[in-house]
Amino acid sequence: MEVYRRKVFFNYEKQLRLWSPSEKVFEYFASFQISKGELFMRPLDLTQAMVPVFPLFESHLVRDGYLTRERKVKNKNKKEKN
């Protein structure tokens, strides 16, 4: 399951880099936000935004988060179980 999840994120991020406007790419990869809500990129964020690397170089971490459709499916499954 984890391998599948990583592939989904890799493919999503690849498409995002290729076809999305720069602003959307910046918002997706920026990982630092100040209290006013302004987003900033760290050097690693910039590298990730520009170069599709799978997995991240020298990283043991798995990308965290959800894609829009993935979240809807999980919530639907929870409701069906109840």
- pLDDT tens digit string along 29-40? 888 888 888 999
31-47 residues labelled b (16+ CB within 10 A) or e (exposed): eeeeeeeeeeeeeebee
pLDDT above 70 covers what percent of the chain?
A: 63
User: Residue 42: CA atoms inside 13 Å, Cβ hemisphere, count?
Assistant: 5
Q: Break the chain into its structural domains and give their ranges.
A: 2-81
Of the candidates 65, 62, 74, 61, the one whose C-alpha atom is nearest the C-alpha of residue 6 is 62
pTM over 0.75: no
